[in-house]
Amino acid sequence: MAEAFELVRADLARVEEGLARESRSGIAPVAEIAGYLLSAGGKRLRPALHLLAAKFCGYEGPSAIQLGVVLELIHNATLIHDDIIDGADTRRGRTSSNQRWGNSMTVLAGDWLYMQAFRLALAEGSLRILDILTRLTQRMVEGELIQLTWLGRIDIREENALEISRRKTACLFEACLQLGALLGEKNAQDEERLARYGLNAGLAFQIIDDLLDFTAPAERLGKPVVSDLREGKITLPLVYALEGCDGTGRRKIESVLREKGFQSVAPEEIVALVRESGAVERARERAAQFVAEADRALEPFPDSTYKRALEALPQFILNRDH
């Protein structure tokens, strides 16, 4: 995976400069909150994917940098809003912005990041780009709303959990690839193939992310383990655990949902339940299926350095440990 990032390292540095520049504001609280969130770093996976896609499609101009900034601003705006909705205490190993500045100020900073992203996108002068980004943000909001309707409910099924992941996470990966294809002026069929690659890679990413909530140490995860269940979310590994556990296990999960915390059930008991039910293996297998779908989407394209980099990325997603 390091080799893939090396191919776009210089462009990612320019994206980082753009993020620092665009997070500045004459309004002190906005600049402070935006700067705090963006300075936490992160993998910058989404702009890296977009930059790789643009180069894969033969585009080398400044618009790829600009849209990389746009995509990361949108991503960070969603993180701000997610933390407010979830009442999160930490983000990337630090105090979350909502805990530090309060919900009212933080939600407005998130809105500002969204508007900053669209201001930059508007400067590209492309209705197609704006259409992709508008549909993206609509689907992400829809995903959050759908997730809220399932909050605290134990009757959620695999298809419901995947639909939330598709809208909240995978569609942003899809847009990263689609915008790269658009800059490279690929035909509709190739654009659809790359979008499909992004969607499947994004689904694999979210499944592994949900799995890490049960398998990764808190210090590597950057947040407490089993935090999703504490917030009332039944993610795919827990869906599988519920299908594979007995009545005692089910009652433990119900207790955590009812108490909205770990008063009568320890987090370690839920982790053990997920592991013993076979849910870990089943979730990894499902993620691997999406990785295989992503690989198949790339098959019609001729071999190149950038194709090999895109092929390596889903495997990196599948094997990551934090």
Q: Give the pLDDT confidence score for residue 41 in this predicted structure.
A: 67
Average pLDDT over the chain reads: 91
Read off the tokens for 77: 């705006």
CB 279 within 8 A of CB 237: yes
* Residue 38 binned pLDDT confidence (cut-offs 50, 70, 90): confident
Give pLDDT tens digits for 169-198: 999 999 999 999 999 999 999 999 999 999
Which pLDDT value is given to residue 2? 64
Domain containing 120 equals 2-319
pLDDT tier at 24 (50, 70, 90 boundaries)? confident
pTM of the model: 0.93
The model's pLDDT over 100-132, given as tens digits with 9 standing for 90+, comes to 888 888 898 889 999 999 999 999 999 999 999
- Residue 267, classed as helix, strand or coil, is helix
Q: Would you say residue 62 has pLDDT above 80? A: yes
Mean pLDDT lowest among 157-161, 207-211, 218-222: 218-222
pLDDT score of 37: 80
**pLDDT (0 to 100) of residue 5:** 76
Widest Cα–Cα separation across the chain: 58
Q: Could you tell me the two tokens for 33?
A: 């909150």
H and E: helices and strands count for the chain: 18, 2
CATH code assigned at 193: 1.10.600.10
**pLDDT tens per residue, range 242-258:** 999 999 999 999 999 99
Amino acid 224: pLDDT = 65
Backbone φ, ψ for residue 274 (5° rounding)? -65, -45
Element (H, E) at 90: strand 90-91
| Amino acid residing at 164 | I
Q: Return the pLDDT at 94.
A: 83
Q: What is the DSSP letter of 302?
A: P
Pairwise CA distance, residues 247 & 222, whole Å: 32
Residue 138 corresponds to which amino acid?
Answer: Q
What pLDDT shows up at residue 227? 87
Using pLDDT thresholds of 50, 70 and 90, give the confidence band for residue 289. Answer: very high
DSSP-based three-state secondary structure for 91: strand
